[in-house]
Each structure stands twice: as structure tokens, then as C-alpha cells.
Amino acid sequence: MVKDKCKRLKDILREMERVVVAFSGGVDSTFLLKVAYDVLGKDNVLAVTANSETYPQRELEEAKILADWIGVQHQVIETSELSIPGYTENDQNRCYFCKNSLFEHVVPIMKEKGYHNVIYGLIADDMNEHRPGMRAAQEHGVRGPLQEAQLFKDEIRALSKELEIPTWNKPSFACLSSRIAYGEEITQEKLTKVEKSEEYLRNLGVRQVRVRTHEEIARIEVEPTDMSLVLANHDDIMNQLQQFGYKFVTLDLQGYKSGSMNKVLSI
């Protein structure tokens, strides 16, 4: 079944012939980039990574290393979500503004350099989630081959492991803006606060972490297996996050949940 899906993915990529991959360095886009490279070859694949305020420096450096490991051509472009009209208001369509801006930058690169398609790491799981960015992709003619092949996250991880792709067990990641409660203005100060807080927790040994921001409150989400680590270091964590700018530091007993901020939406 999974092998059939992988064959379908390869067939889709062959039909595209020459592609630009919107590449974040996450599990999905790295797998997509590797398969595209293996199927189409170096001359027919270009990875493009957008460097912006919502993209941690650590992730950018990892993306560069991964592109080099694959051997693919890689271009880093500069974007700024905070300058996009409507983005900082942080309503439920925030991801539309982000993806729309990304594709406005990447599609011209595709045309200028003679590629045929822009593709990104949309997966089958995303079809049941709140993903406004899908509308931006449709408007720009950007395709999601992983989703078209009906590949799910667990399957992508398993296939990545088979291909010895180092991201096969990488924790899920989303842009820093996703940590800020809907309706609360997104600012550089808040993004920096989130990035520093999550980096601090990772350095303590926490594998998967989100520092959800509700005004002056930090709501820490980790996997249940890491809760004891957080509690064992609660004084240090509280003091450090307060130095970063939070007044209150909490641990969410439900644990890490992708897209947990979407619970408040009526969609």
C-alpha cells in the first residue's frame, strides 16, 4: 500500500519534469525534495527556502545542511511576513497571507529559471486540518504531490527512514507565529520571545515543544514523556522564560498537540 503510494508520487514528479520545491527542512518537504532529486536529477530540481522573522535561524541552517546532503541546488530568499498587510492582525486566515507571499516570491523564480511547477510539502493529514495556505497554493497553481499520492505523516517518516533521510524522526515544526493566540498582534518581540524560549527548552533535552503565547502567559506544550523533565526544572524554566518577557509560565497537562490554537476557531 505505502509502496504503491510512493510509486504514485514518483509518477507525479516524472510528469512534472522540472520542479521548484518550497523547502523548509521539515520532515515532509525534505522527503519530497529527496524523492524529486532521485527521480528527476540535479538539473531539474531547485530547492527554495524563505528566510524570515517567523523562521528560526536554527531551522535555516538545518535546511542548508539537508540540501547539501541531498546534493540539490538550493536558493535562500528573504521574505518578511510582518510587512504583509493583514498578517500581523493574526486572524484565522494568517497562514493564507504567509503562503500567498511565499508563492508570490517562488513562482517568478520558477518561470525565470525555466522550471515547470512549484511544489510544497502538503500531506494527506492536512486535508482534515485548518490550512488556509492551501487556498493560496491553488491560486498560484502550486501543487502538493505528497497529498496527491495520499501519503500520511507516519508513512512519510517510515519511507524517510528507509531512505536514511536524517529528518525521519525530526520533531514536527511550524512557523513561530503559530504559537501566538489568534487575535493577538504578531510582533518581532513576541516571535523572538517564543524562539528563545523553545530553544532553551530544547537545550534542556525536551524533544517536541511549543511555547504557546497568550498575552503575558507562556503555555508550554511537550510530549507526556517530557513533562517530568519540565517539572524537575520548573524553577529554572520559570525564571528563564520570565527573563525572556513572560509574566506567567504554565505547563499544559494535555501535552503537545499540533494545531492546538485552532481549538478556538469556528470553522
State the cell numbers at 218. 507562556
- Name the DSSP class of 172: P
- Name the DSSP class of 180: B
Contact predicate 48/77, CB 8 Å: yes
Smallest CA-to-CA distance from 87 within 61, 118, 129, 54 is with: 54
Q: What is the largest CA-CA distance in the chain?
A: 56
- Name the DSSP class of 153: H
Distance, CA of 173 to CA of 176 (rounded, Å): 9
User: Which residues make Cβ contacts (< 8 Å) with residue 142, sequence separation at least 6?
Assistant: 22, 103, 106, 107, 117, 118, 119, 120, 136
Residue 6 is a catalytic residue: no
Contact predicate 178/261, CB 8 Å: yes
Contact predicate 190/180, CB 8 Å: yes
State whether residue 90 is helix, strand or coil. coil
Distance, CA of 25 to CA of 68 (rounded, Å): 11
SS3 content of the chain, % helix, strand, coil (to 5): 55, 15, 35
Catalytic residue selected from 6, 95, 98, 175: 175
State the cell numbers at 152. 500520511
Active site amino acids: 175
